[in-house]
Structure 1
Amino acid sequence: MPEAGSGTSRNRSVNRRPEEEVIERRGPGRAQATDLLARFRKTAERAAPEPAPADGAGARGVMEVAADIVARAARFLPGNTPDAETDLFDAGLSSVDAVELVAVMARELDVRVSLDDVFADARPRRLAQRWAAAAGLPTAVPDARPDAPSPSTPTTSSSNGSPSIAPVVVRASDGGADEDLEMILADLALADRLPFSHQADRVPPRRILLTGATGYLGSHLLLDLLRQRDAHVVCLVRAADDAAAERRLADALASFDQPWSSEVRRRVTVLAADLRQPRLGLSPEGWESLAQEIDAIVNVAAAVDFLRGYPSLRQTNVLGPLVLAELAMTGRPKPLHHISSVAVFNEVGIEKMGEDDPVAHIDRLVAGYDKSKWAAEAVLRRAREHGLTVTFLRPGAIGGHTRTGVYNPRDLSTGLIGAFSRYRTVPAFKFMNLAPVDWISKVVAAVVFDPQAWGQNYNVTGRAETLPELVKDMKLAGMNVRVANWRDWRDDLLQRHAAEPVPELDFLVRILRSPTAMKLFEALMFGPEAGSERTETFVTRHRLPMAERYGGQAQLKAFERMAKDGVARLPSREDPPYLSFRERTKGHVGPIGEDRDTRCRMALTLSIASMYQVVRHRKIDVRGEVTCERLHPEPLTVEAGEIWVRPDEGVPLRHGSDHPLLRYRLVLVDRDGGRWWLEGWKTARASRDFWKQTRTIEVTIGREGEPAGLSGVVKVPGKSYVPDQIDGIRVDPRLSSQEQRLAKLAWLSWFFVQVGMGLAEPSLRVAAELLDLRRDAIDRDKDKLQRKIRKLMIKREQTR
C-alpha cells in the first residue's frame, strides 16, 4: 500500500532494523552512514517500479515550478522570501495558509498537490517533485546548493577546535518514507561531530538557558524555575532583536495567565536567537559568551504538528537539540534537560512504555512529529555516549491548568475533550496518557534543580485515564456518551463537523482527515499506559503533589474555559435531564395591597443537567404550568425558568432579617400569546418553624415589561413534599443502577447542606448581634476609639 502522503509505494519486505541498530549503537564494525544510504538506495532501486514516460517536451521543469511555488507562497509570508529548499512552515506559513496555498497553486499554476503533501514536506522543490512524479514527468533536479555540507564533512570549528554542527541538505530518492529514513540517518550521523566531554558538575544551576518559553509548557516552566530556586533564567526567543524578543515573551506569558512583573523581569534575560540556525544564529562571540555564562540548558522548544512530515520538523525538533548539545559541551560542561515525548513509543502494537524500555522502531512510526522526537532522543543518546549529561523528560498529552484553567488550544487532548463533550461519542481506547500542565511543570523544574536526578529518563505522564473512568466522569457530569469503534467515531465526527462546522475543532478535523492520522490514532488508542516508576519515586522524595488522574474536579477549570471559548460544550437545558423531580404548590394571589382572593397553583418540574450546574452555578432548571384565573382562564406554560439556591450566599434581603433560601424566576406564556413574569422567594427567619419555611414561596407576578401587579403566597403541601422531592427523584435511565443511586445521594447531600445552612443563618445572626460578634464589631470599636482620641486631642489643643 502507498505510504500516506508520500506519493510513492514503500517496499515493506525490506527490513531496515539491523542497519538502524548498527548506527544507533555505534558498536564494533559499525557501518558508515553514507554506506548504509547507498545500500538503501540500491534496495529502493530494485523495488521501485519503472517510471512512467514523460510527456510534453515543453513541460515546465521541476525547479521552474518550484520557483513559481516560492512566488505564490511569498504572498503568505510578508517580509520573508523563502527559496526552493526552505520549509515554508519554518518561514512562517500557518496551517490555514497551507490550505489557501494549495488552492492558489491549483488555480494559478495548475499544480495540484494534496494538503498532506504540503504538511509532509513543505519545501517548494519537494512539492514540485511530487507534482512532477504524479504527472509522469522527470523529477531529477540539478544540485541547487553545490556547497552544502555532506553528513561526514565538518563545516567550521569552535574555539576549542571541535567541529560545529550545521544542517545537512539530503538529496535522497523521491520516495517520502525512504527520504525520511535517509534524513534521519544523516541527522544521526551529525552527532558524531560532537566533541567528547566529561560529565557536568553535580551542582544546582544558578543561570539556566530555557528554550520554548513562549509556548504552553515553557511559559509555566519558566515561572516554576523562578519559584523553586533563586536562579536566573535566560530565555531564548526567536525575534529580530532582544527588545522584540522581550515583547514576544511578555505577550506569550499574558496569553497563558502568567505574570510579567518587575520581579520576573529582574530575574529573566531575553535573548533573540534561533534554535534552527547553527550556533543559534549568534555571532561567534555571542556563542562563546553564552556558553560561559550559563550552567544548565532546558530545551522545551519544539514544532508540534501531527500533519507535518519529518523534513518539515527536523530543523527545530532534531537539529535544534543537537545545537544545544554542542552548546552544552562548549567550555564548561553543562547538563541538558530535553523535553521529549511519549510519542517516541507510538508504534502500533508496542507492549511496554517504561522509562527505560526500548523506544519504537523508527520504520514503524508514521507521523513526522513522532519521527522527529525519536530522532532527537537518538542524537542526544549519542551525545550521552560522548560524555554529555542528558535528561529526557517525556510528557504525554498536556492538559489544562488545574487552578487557572488555561489550556493549550492546539493540544490533541483539547480537541478530543471538546469533541467528546460536543458530539457525546467516545472512541474505544485503552489508556490516555494525560497530565495537567502545572503538575508536569513542577516535576520538570524539580528535576532541573536536583543534580542526583540528572541523566535519567522520566515519563511525566501522570496517571493514565481509562475509558471506563472517562465515561463515568462524563455521565456524572450530565453528558451520556456513546462508545464507538474509533474508526466509526472518526467518520461520525467528520460528518457532524461537515454538517455543522465548529471552527475551534478545525485543527482536530484536519488531523483526522489525514490518512497518516489513521495509524497515529491507532497507536494512541491502543497503546499501553506509560510506566513512570522513576518519576513517582522522585515525586515522593521531593514531596511534590502525587500524580492523580486528570479528570473530574482536576479538569473542571479547564473545561469551563474551553466551554467559554467554544471548544467544549457544557450540559444545558436542551440535554436530557440528569436528575429531575416535581414540585406542586397552591395558594392565593391578588392585586398588590389588596385581598389575595384568587387561587394560584403551580405544577413544576425541577431538573438539573449535571451536578456541575448546581455546585458551580447553584441553578435549577424549571418547566411546567401555572394556573391563575387572574392571568388567564387556562394554564400558562413555563417557557423558561430558573431557581437560584441560596443566592448571594444567603445575604439578607433589603438589609432585613429574611435570608433567601431559593429564588424563582419564571417566564410564562398564556394560550393567547401573552407573556408574563413570576418571581418567587423562599426565605428563612429566626424561627423554629423550619418545615414551614422550606415549603413557603412569596410570589409577585406581572406582564412582560411591566412592574408587578399581583402578589401572594403559595405553599408546597406537607403531604406531597417527601413523595415528590425525595422519593420521587428521577435520574437519567441511561445511568446504571449504582450510578443512579450515587446521583441521588450527591444531589440530596448537596441540596440539604445548602438549605440547612440557609435555615441556620438567621438564628446565628441574631446570636451574633446579641453578643456583638458581627463582622464589623471590631471595626466599629476601632472607629469609636479613634473618635475618643480625636476629642482628647482637640481638648488638649484648646487647653494650650
Structure 2
Amino acid sequence: MGDVNDGARAYAESIERGGGGLGVDDLLAKVMTAGASESGEIAAQAAAPAAEGALDVDTLAATIATAAGRHLPEGRLSPDADFFDAGGTSVHAVELVAELESELGMEFDLDEVFADARPISLARRWLEASGATHAPPAAPVVSPTAPAPLTLPAAAPYAPPPPVLPATAPAAPYTTARPEDLEQILADLALADRLPFTRSPEPLPPRRVLLTGATGFLGSHMLLDLLRHSDAHVYCLVRAADQETATARLGEALKSYRLPWSSEIRRRITVLPGDIRLPRLGLDDELWHRLAHELDSVVGVAAAVDFLRGYHSLRTSNVLGALTLAELAATGRPKPLHHISSIAVFNEVGITAMGEDDPLAHIDRLIAGYDQTKWTAEVALRRARDHGLLVTAMRPGGIGGHTRTGAYNPQDLSSGLISAFARFRTVPAFRYLNAAPVDWVSRTAVAVICEPDAWGYDYNLTGVPNTLDDVVRDMALGGMHVRVQDWDAWRADALARLQAEPVPELTFLTRVLQSPSALKLCEATLKGPAAVDDRTAALVEALGLPPAARYDAQAQLKTFEKLADDGLARLPQKDDTPYLWFTENTEGTVGPVGAPADTPCAMRLTLSIAGMHQLVKERRVDVQGELTCPALHPEPVVVERGDLVVRPEEGIPEQHGMRHQLISYQLELVDADGGRWWLRGRKYARARRDVWRQTRALTVEIGRAGEPASLAGEVVVPADSYVRDQIDGIHVDPRLTGQEKRAAKLTWLAWFGLEMGRGLLGPFARAAADLLDLRRPTTLTERHR
C-alpha cells in the first residue's frame, strides 16, 4: 500500500501502545483511506466467483488469507490457520478488517475476528450473515480418528489484544458457547485417546526436569525455585529460532521480573529452542527421543493468556501444547506430568463450589476462549490418566506480585483490577478475589513437583481469598477511601474515565471490559465462590512450608509501589484529604545560639498522614501549622512545608553519645513579610528516668533560609494536653465508616507506640550492655567524656 499505508500503520501502532486519541471507527476510517488506492489483487480474486452468482467458501477463504498474510511476519497465512497464532497483532487486525471492508465490502466486527481468526471461519460466517450462496461446509477441522494432529503454524510472537475501543455498550454477550467451539473441543478431547500407554514413574525427586514457560511470570519464578529447592537440572523450552537467541530471551525475562541471571543458573539449565505449538515441541527426532528417555519430570507452565481471543485462536498453545507434553511424558521412560491449569476451569457464572475435587464448569457455559482451553486441556489430561500417565493439575487463581521484589505481571487481570481500584477509588461489588502472590504460588507448585507423594492429584493454588470488605478495608487503611458500585455501573464508570484520560498501561483492561466474552469471564470471576484448597493446605503444612496468607495491603506493598512507579496505580499524596490527623501544641523558650534561651516560643501544629503506606515505607508524618516567636517576627510564622520522621536513621545514637533520636522535625517557614526560615527539631531518648518528658521535649534550632542557625532552645508538649490532643483528639477521614475510623486510630496508635517503645528501649539496652561488658577496655574518648 506504499508510503500512505506505512503512515497509517505507524499511527495504528501508536494506538496499540496507548497513544493517540482516535477510537476504532476513526482508526478504521484512517486505515481505509490510506488503502483506498490499492484495488487490484484482493478484489480480483473475489470478483470471478461473485460474477457467477455464487461465492465458494474455499475461494473466499483463500482471498481473506491472502489479505491477512500481508500483515504477518512470514507474509502468508493458510486458510485454516489462526491469524493471531501466526503472529498477527491487534493493529494488524484493525488494518485487515478495514481492507476487507474497503476492497470486498465484507464487514466484520473485531469481536468476531478475535473469536475465531481463521480465514476459513471468517469466510463461512460472512457468507451465512450475508445470505450469499456457497458450497457445502467443509468437514470438521480435527477428527478424533485422524492419524496425527493438525500441522501447527510456525513459531510466532505472542499476539496482543486489540486496540482501545470506544466506551459504548458491547454487543449482547453470548450465553452459551458457540456450537463450532464445542465441536472443536469434543474433537480435541478425543486426541487424548491416542496417547501412548505408560507405567507409573519411580517415586523419586526429579533430577532432570523439562520446564515450559520459563520466560513467563509464573514460569520464571518456578525456574528459580526449582534451582533453589532441588538438585534438578532444568531443561527450559524457549520459543526462539536458535539456542543463542533462546538463552538471551530467557535471561532478559528473568531480569525483567527482578530475578537473578548468573553463571551458576546458566550452569544448571539447558536452554532448548522450541515451541509448544509445534509437533514434538519443534525438536528434532533425536533430541525428542533423548529427552523421552532421560527426563524425570515434565512441567507445563507455558500458555497463551489472552481473555479476548477465542478457542480456535488459543487451542494450539493451550490444548495441543498440553497434549504434546503428555505425549513426551508417556514416551520412553515413565515420568509424571505437572500441568499448570487455572481456576478458570470453574468460570461458569453461578457455579456454587470450587473445591479441588469438585466438578468443573459445564463446558457449554464457558464463554471466553481462555476458560474453554484451560478446561479442555485439564479434561483431556484426565483422560490421559486412564493410559497410566501420572498427571498433577495445579490451578492458580489471580497471580499477584512478589511480596519482596514487587515484580508483577502487567497483563494479569488481577493487577489490572487492583490498579483500577486504586486509580479511580471505586470497586465493583464482588464476592471473592481468589488471588495469591507469585512467590507463594511458585514455591508451593515446586514443592508438589519435588514430592513424589504429592503427584497425581489436583491442587488449587489460590491462597486465602479476599472478600469485598477485606479490599475496602485494606484500601481505607492505606489512605484510599473507595466507593462500591454494582458491576455494570463500575464497568461503565471505569471505561468513561479511561476514555477521558487514557492510561497506556491499562489499555488491556479497557479491551477486556469491552469484550462480550471477556465480560462473562469477569462476571464469573467476581461473582464466583471462594476457592477451597484443603489438599494444598495439608501438603504445605506437612512439608513445613509457609502457609497461605491473605494477599492483603502489606503483602501487596512492594507491588503497589512498583505499579505506581509504572503508572498503573497512584499512591496517596500530600495534597490528598488527610487520612488521619491530630494537633500538637508546644511551649518553651529560645535564644541566640550559645546564649541563654529567654524568648518565648510556641508552636501550634497539625500532624497528619495521607495513608498507612507513608508510615510503613517512610515513617514520615506531614506537618502544618504556625510558630509564634518574637525573636523571628512579631506575627506568627507559617509552616509552608514540614515533615516529621519517627526514629530517623533507625534510632542510631549520635556519634560518641548516648542520645538516640526518637523524632526529627524539618520545617520550612514563611513570615508575614515573605521572609523564609527553617527549623530543625529533635526528640531524644536517653537511659534516664524522665521517659515521659523525653517523648514530649523537642530541642530546636532556627535560622534564616540559606544561613546557619541563629536561635536555639527547647519546646515541650504540656503534660495536660498530650493525651487530649494526640490520643483523644485524633481525627479520621469522615468518609470512612465508624468501624473503619476505630480501626484507623488503633492502627496508628499501635504503630506509633511500637516505634516509640523501640526508640526508648534502645539507650537502656545499650547502657545495660555496657555495664555487663566489664572486661571491655576503656577507650581514650570514653576516658575524656
Q: Cα distance 1:107–1:579, how it changes in 2: closer, same or farther (>3 A)?
A: farther
Q: Cα distance 1:138–1:632, how it changes in 2: closer, same or farther (>3 A)?
A: farther
Of 405-414 and 650-659, more deviation after overlay is shown by: 650-659
Note the C-alpha offset of 1:126.
Answer: 4.3
**Could you tell me which residue of structure 2 aligns to residue 498 of structure 1?**
499
Alignment of 1:148-547 (within 5 A): 150-155=143-148, 177-547=178-548
Q: Deviations over 1:742-787 (max 9, x none)?
A: 433332233233334434444554555566689xx79999xxxxxx
**Could you tell me which residue of structure 2 aligns to residue 626 of structure 1?**
627
Among candidates 119, 122, 135, match of residue 117 of structure 2: 122
Letter of the 1:342 partner, please give it.
I
Structure 2 CA distance, aligned partners of 1:764 and 1:675? 41
Q: Deviations over 1:533-588 (max 9, x none)?
A: 22222223222222222214333332333233332333333333332110112344
SS of equivalent to 1:442: helix
Of 236-245 and 395-404, more deviation after overlay is shown by: 395-404
| 8 A contact 1:67–1:124 mirrored in 2 | no
Structure 2 CA distance, aligned partners of 1:360 and 1:758? 56
| 8 A contact 1:62–1:132 mirrored in 2 | no
**Could you tell me which residue of structure 1 aligns to residue 66 of structure 2?**
67
**Could you tell me which residue of structure 2 aligns to residue 694 of structure 1?**
695
Q: Deviations over 1:508-541 (max 9, x none)?
A: 2221121223222221122112222222222232
Structure 1 CA distance, aligned partners of 2:717 and 2:52? 89
**Could you tell me which residue of structure 1 aligns to residue 168 of structure 2?**
none
Q: Cα distance 1:136–1:665, how it changes in 2: closer, same or farther (>3 A)?
A: farther
| 8 A contact 1:62–1:140 mirrored in 2 | no
* Aligned: 1:751 with 2:752: yes
| 8 A contact 2:238–2:272 mirrored in 1 | yes
* Aligned: 1:92 with 2:87: yes
Q: Cα distance 1:192–1:662, how it changes in 2: closer, same or farther (>3 A)?
A: same
Identity value in percent:
59
Q: Cα distance 1:121–1:574, how it changes in 2: closer, same or farther (>3 A)?
A: farther
| 8 A contact 1:194–1:383 mirrored in 2 | yes
SS of equivalent to 1:680: strand
Q: Cα distance 1:579–1:515, how it changes in 2: closer, same or farther (>3 A)?
A: same
Q: Cα distance 1:105–1:657, how it changes in 2: closer, same or farther (>3 A)?
A: farther
| 8 A contact 1:667–1:678 mirrored in 2 | yes
Note the C-alpha offset of 1:309.
Answer: 0.9
SS of equivalent to 2:463: coil
Note the C-alpha offset of 1:94.
Answer: 4.6
Q: Deviations over 1:231-273 (max 9, x none)?
A: 2211111111122212211221222222233332222111111
SS of equivalent to 2:309: coil
Q: Deviations over 1:451-510 (max 9, x none)?
A: 332222121212222222222222222222222212211112112222333322222222
Note the C-alpha offset of 1:447.
Answer: 1.8
Letter of the 1:399 partner, please give it.
G
Of 652-661 and 205-214, more deviation after overlay is shown by: 652-661
Q: Deviations over 1:265-308 (max 9, x none)?
A: 22211111111001111222222122111121111111111111
Structure 1 CA distance, aligned partners of 2:194 and 2:310? 25
Alignment of 1:629-644 (within 5 A): 629=630, 631-644=632-645
Note the C-alpha offset of 1:623.
Answer: 1.7
| 8 A contact 2:54–2:134 mirrored in 1 | no
SS of equivalent to 1:387: coil
Structure 2 CA distance, aligned partners of 1:671 and 1:54? 86
Structure 2 CA distance, aligned partners of 1:418 and 1:557? 14
| 8 A contact 1:646–1:754 mirrored in 2 | yes
Letter of the 2:82 partner, please give it.
D
Q: Deviations over 1:76-107 (max 9, x none)?
A: x4x67544444343233455665676678778
Letter of the 1:67 partner, please give it.
T
**Could you tell me which residue of structure 1 aligns to residue 665 of structure 2?**
664
Higher relative contact order (CA 8 A, sep 6+): 2
Q: Cα distance 1:540–1:149, how it changes in 2: closer, same or farther (>3 A)?
A: closer
SS of equivalent to 2:350: coil
Number of aligned residue pairs: give it. Answer: 708
Structure 2 CA distance, aligned partners of 1:417 and 1:180? 32
Note the C-alpha offset of 1:314.
Answer: 0.5
Q: Which sections of structure 2, spanning at least 5 residues, go unmatched?
A: 1-48, 155-175, 781-785
Note the C-alpha offset of 1:359.
Answer: 1.1
SS of equivalent to 2:182: helix
| 8 A contact 2:564–2:570 mirrored in 1 | yes
Of 595-604 and 548-557, more deviation after overlay is shown by: 595-604
Q: Deviations over 1:375-404 (max 9, x none)?
A: 111221222222222111111111222232
Q: Which sections of structure 1, spanning at least 5 residues, go unmatched?
A: 1-52, 156-163, 170-174, 782-800
Letter of the 1:494 partner, please give it.
L
Letter of the 2:63 partner, please give it.
E
Structure 1 CA distance, aligned partners of 2:291 and 2:767? 69
SS of equivalent to 1:553: coil
| 8 A contact 2:86–2:153 mirrored in 1 | no
Note the C-alpha offset of 1:605.
Answer: 0.7
| 8 A contact 1:168–1:187 mirrored in 2 | no
Note the C-alpha offset of 1:370.
Answer: 0.1
Structure 2 CA distance, aligned partners of 1:636 and 1:304? 59
SS of equivalent to 2:555: helix
TM-score calculated relative to the size of structure 1: 0.80
SS of equivalent to 1:554: coil
Structure 2 CA distance, aligned partners of 1:659 and 1:359? 61
Note the C-alpha offset of 1:218.
Answer: 1.0
Note the C-alpha offset of 1:645.
Answer: 0.8
Alignment of 1:594-609 (within 5 A): 599-609=600-610
TM-score calculated relative to the size of structure 2: 0.82
**Could you tell me which residue of structure 2 aligns to residue 570 of structure 1?**
571
Note the C-alpha offset of 1:643.
Answer: 0.3
| 8 A contact 1:70–1:124 mirrored in 2 | no
SS of equivalent to 2:556: helix
Structure 2 CA distance, aligned partners of 1:131 and 1:423? 40
| 8 A contact 2:81–2:119 mirrored in 1 | yes
Note the C-alpha offset of 1:610.
Answer: 2.9
| 8 A contact 1:650–1:659 mirrored in 2 | yes
Note the C-alpha offset of 1:134.
Answer: 6.0
Of 184-193 and 630-639, more deviation after overlay is shown by: 630-639
**Could you tell me which residue of structure 2 aligns to residue 786 of structure 1?**
none
**Could you tell me which residue of structure 2 aligns to residue 725 of structure 1?**
726
| 8 A contact 1:55–1:136 mirrored in 2 | no
| 8 A contact 1:680–1:698 mirrored in 2 | yes
| 8 A contact 2:81–2:153 mirrored in 1 | no
Structure 1 CA distance, aligned partners of 2:672 and 2:124? 71
SS of equivalent to 1:603: strand
Structure 2 CA distance, aligned partners of 1:750 and 1:139? 74
| 8 A contact 2:68–2:77 mirrored in 1 | no
Of 608-617 and 577-586, more deviation after overlay is shown by: 608-617
Letter of the 2:67 partner, please give it.
D
